[in-house]
Amino acid sequence: MIRMTAAQAAALVRTEDTLLVGGSGSGHAVPDALLAALGVRYRETGQPRALTVLHPVGLGDGKARGMGHLAQDGLLKRVVTGTYVDCPSEARMALDEKFEAYSLPQGVMSQLMREMAAGRPGLMTKVGLHTFIDPRLGGGRQNRRATEDLVENVQFRGEEYLFYKPFHVDVVFVRGSAADEEGNISMEHEAVTLEMLSMAQAARRCGGLVVAQVKRIVPRGSLHPKMVKIPGILVDVLVVDPNQWQTYATQDNPAYSGHLRVNLSDIPRLPAGPRRVIARRGAMELFEGAICNLGSGISTGIANIAAEEGVLARVCLTNEQGNIGGAPSSKEPGAASSPDAQVDQPYQFDFYDGGGLDLAFLSFAEFDVAGNVNVSRFGGRLVGPGGFINISQGARKVIFGGTLTANGAAKAVAQVEQITFSGPYARECGQQILYVTERAVFRLGPEGPELIEIAPGTDLEADVLGVMGFRPSVSPDLKLMDAALFSDAPMGLATRLPPHPPRAVLARLQGMETTA
């Protein structure tokens, strides 16, 4: 292991290399000093050129950090990522055909790191079937320059899967909190741990360089072995950035890292408006002990409502980056205040893909007559799917939230621009699907979205059907949305939270004596 400056480490990246970058949007464990140094080197020398950059999660502060350092003409040949939304300059370059642009499911990319680490041929999964990731619907391509097939349809034992091909890695940039003199790296002050270990192992398997950024060096032997996330045997180069912040906006929040437990009831109250109504209606789907995922955007308000109603401790909120329990952050997506556990991201997605989620609360940009949902590309914006596809395909019940219109334009359209969630496939898989808006609620019926609730005082034709791009079926049992949703007073959710549906496995415990 060799210590270098960020500039010296950036000089190790060569033209046409494949660079793997760890971290998550909002600056969680992002090796930003390394990315900045690489961007400076290119501006000053024109080298390296034509890089392929892989980053499972979006990297950026919405301005110039993260992948913004590398968003320069000629520096990038190809980008494969879960999402572009954190870095507008990267997204704009993709739309302008400046590099080959792909977006694959965040969970798939995370899990693929483990397959690459082990030298396996790739990842076979059902995640992405019948979405724009499916080769029949685009194969994850986001511009015309992206011509290579990164995903294949395969048949195995009579069932259909997608096969995601592995990548060769020349250099990986990872980040931790501290490193000892042997190069062992801990992540005790990070908000998430992600797939840093798998990335380092994947690079080593390919014969690539592992470059790690940390905040400080500690004496040899001072790190508890269980705190070491990346063993020193995998680290080639160490770069110290004493000014490293926990996130782009937060220098150090001990509630994110688990060093401090905070009162979760202190989460701010959502102000009156459509977002509050939508979050409140979504929260009415909660039940005792429900294991949930909160997506970004409007759905993060579920945590605020659960806290306000006094039921946050009675459900388990999670996010895909690996936090279990606590309160997922609405300001810095990926972090959570006072989580009960933090697991590596690939294992969180294993749990999601395996049906571990009772409920998923996700946002929609648009939904269509077939019940398809788009969040990945719309209105001239390139966002990417993030963890949306894994989450929406794996959960037993999905509640999509959003306003029925945006700036006067319909968000219920005849056909979505890009299929990030397939309504017909969800129906085939037996999922329960709701589309919740501030003035109406729909469920996925046999033919598509079916209107089941309407806000009190709303005109069915003028305020709902007349502002949609298609005419949904209307339930013969059309009901009014609960009037409590529109009141400033608490809904009383604590007294009417339904019990957890019985799990078949719990039958084993019937009649058993317990010590609880």
Helical segments of 294-362, H only: 301-308, 345-353
Residues 433, 368: contact at Cβ < 8 Å?
no
DSSP state of 141: B
Question: Pick from 186, 141, 267, 192: which is nearest to 25 by CA?
Answer: 192
User: Which residues have a Cβ under 8 Å from the Cβ of 504 and sit 6 or more positions away?
Assistant: none
| Catalytic, out of 285, 320, 366, 450 | 320
Q: Which helix (H) or strand (E) holds 291?
A: strand 291-294
For 312-351, give the secondary structure using H, E and C. HHHCEEECCCCEECCEECCCCECEEECCCEECCHHHHHHH
Picking from 193, 159, 130, the residue whose alpha carbon sits closest to that of residue 344 is 193
Give the other-Cβ count within 10 Å of 213's Cβ: 28
Listed residue (71, 77, 58, 101) closest to 14, CA to CA: 77
Q: 147: helix, coil or strand?
A: coil
3-state secondary structure 166-229: CCCCCEEEEECCEEECCCCEECCCCCCCCCHHHHHHHHHHCCCEEEEEECEEECCCCCCHHHEE
Active-site residue 16, yes or no? no
324 dihedral zone (left: phi>0; alpha: psi -120 to 50; beta): beta
CB half-sphere exposure, 284, CA atoms < 13 A = 17
Establish whether the linkage from the previous residue to 449 is cis, with ω within 30° of 0: no
Kind and range of the H or E element at 425?
helix 423-429
Spatial separation of the C-alpha atoms in residues 336 and 85, rounded to whole Å: 20
Active centre residues (catalytic):
320
